[in-house]
Every structure is written in C-alpha cells, then in structure tokens.
Amino acid sequence: MKRVMKKFLAILGVPALLAATTATFAAQPESWQTRFQPPATPIMRQIEWFEAYTLWFIVPITLLVLALLAWCIIRYRASANPTPSRTSHNTMIEVLWTVGPVVVLLFIAVPSFQLLTAQYTPSEEPTMTVKATGVQWYWDYEYQYDEPLTFSSLMLQEGDREAAGKQDVAAYPRLLAVDNEMVVPVDTTIRLLVTGSDVIHAFAMPAFGIKVDAVPGRINETWFRAETEGLYYGQCSELCGKDHAFMPIAIRVVSAEQYESWLTAAQTDLEGANRNLMAQIESGKKLAAAGN
C-alpha cells in the first residue's frame, strides 16, 4: 500500500514540490515524472507556457477527430448504411478543412517563431562565455577569460563519492552526479558555445530550456540566464556510442560572490575550489535552517 501511495504522489508531482523546498538540489529527473522540470530560466518559462498554450489546440482537435471517426464508423457502417453515398465533394467541408487548419497554424506559428527567436537572441550582451566540448564520454569546459580556465567533467563513480564529499545521493544522484560541475553565477547572461571533438553529442539542460548539438568542426551558440541558485542536471541527448547513457551534465548556479571566489581558486586548484564552494553552500543552508 505504501508503495502504491508513493507512485500516486509521484504522478501528482508532489515529490518535485518537496524536492524544490527541502533538498539541496534545484532540478533533476524524478521517478514517474510526467511534466517538465521546474523552470530556472526565462526561456524555459516561455517553453512551459508555449506547451500549455498548444494544448488548447491539440486537445480539442484530437477530440474532434476522434468524435468524427466514431460518428463515421457508427453512422456509415455497412449494416446501417447498405447503400453507400456517392457524394464526391462538399464545398462547405472543403472550405472548413482548408481555412480551419490555416488559422490554427497561424495561432501556433506566431508565438513559436517568437520563442525560437528568443532562444537565440539574449536580452542583453552576455557577461561571460563558456565553451562546452563533447568527448566520448564526458564534457570539457573552457571559461573564456584573459586567463582561461579549462577542466573535464566526468560522471562520478560510486567508489569516488566519499573522496569527492558527495555521499548524499539525493543531491548527487547515481548516473547524474559528476566530479566537476560547471559553475556559473546566478542572474547572469551566459553565452554557451557547444562543439564536439569526435562524434556528434548534444548538450541538454531541461531546467534551462537548452538543447544544442555538439558537432565536430562546428561551434553552435546558445545562451541562458539562471534565476535560481542550485544544482541542475542534464545529459547528452544524441546517441554517441556505447557510454552515451553515462555522459551527464551538471551545472551549479551560485551567488556572484561565491562564483568569483571559486573562479579565483580554481585557476590554481580546481579540486580545492570545488570543496570550498560546497562547504560555503552547505554552511549557508545550515545558517538558513537555523534562522528558520
């Protein structure tokens, strides 16, 4: 009974709500998930709105087609209609099924084009640029400053959890946690350059509303502006070989002060910078919990 209740609550989306308020992560896949992850960027909120908007067209059209099929099956079945109609065309029907779809497509196309434009047009000039390179089977990140910071991000192996200080499976889930997260400041417009070094990969972060192919010899550009601090998970979304399923993406969004401190330390000691950042975040959560 308890197991059934857990599945029922999962379908209702209760775990996602609880995770957002009590856990240390911001967004990750949930069991029995039927909706999007909580949006963390303006673009993802627009995508969420557009999905709900299109349902107002898709659902009535689906029900209409279903009703018409049922009506034709029942009304014109052989036993009830032994002499088939020989009507070749109907002007009113021809007009309706031509004009109707055109109007519906216009209502869908206009906001669709607006969303597509927004996905490739930042509202302001990006403050920083990060290059993500897909490799079989991990990601290389390059922070493009005067003194570039580069590092690799591989899936965290179970035996390395303790050494990395990532024993909490809720915050660092199996097959999604990585050894080195991409760290970015909150409320900052970030240009993301995506490419591949060997085969085609794809950089996908559901909570940010981005999904970009990583093509060898080509650089694709997108952007994001995370509005909520936390740890977000995505995955390679292009079949890229035998370990495709073990190529996660993790982005940690922190305050501007924490980011500057991490960046300075990471130039000389990435592992130490990551540990200090995790300690700062954990300390902040304890203080917040004590304040409540």
pLDDT at 156: 95
pLDDT at 288: 59
**Model confidence, pTM:** 0.81
CB contact at 8 A, 28 and 233:
yes
- Domain 1-11+24-79+103-292: assigned CATH number: 2.60.40.420
**Every domain of the chain and the residues it spans:** 1-11+24-79+103-292
Q: What is the mean pLDDT of residues 127-142?
A: 96
Q: What percent of the chain has pLDDT over 70?
A: 89
269: left (phi over 0), alpha (psi -120 to 50) or beta: beta
- Whether 252 has a pLDDT exceeding 80, the answer reads yes
Helix (H) / strand (E) containing 184: strand 182-185
Tens-place pLDDT, residues 37-77? 899 999 999 999 999 999 999 999 999 999 999 998 998 88
Rounded to 5°, angle at Cα 223 from 217 and 225: 155
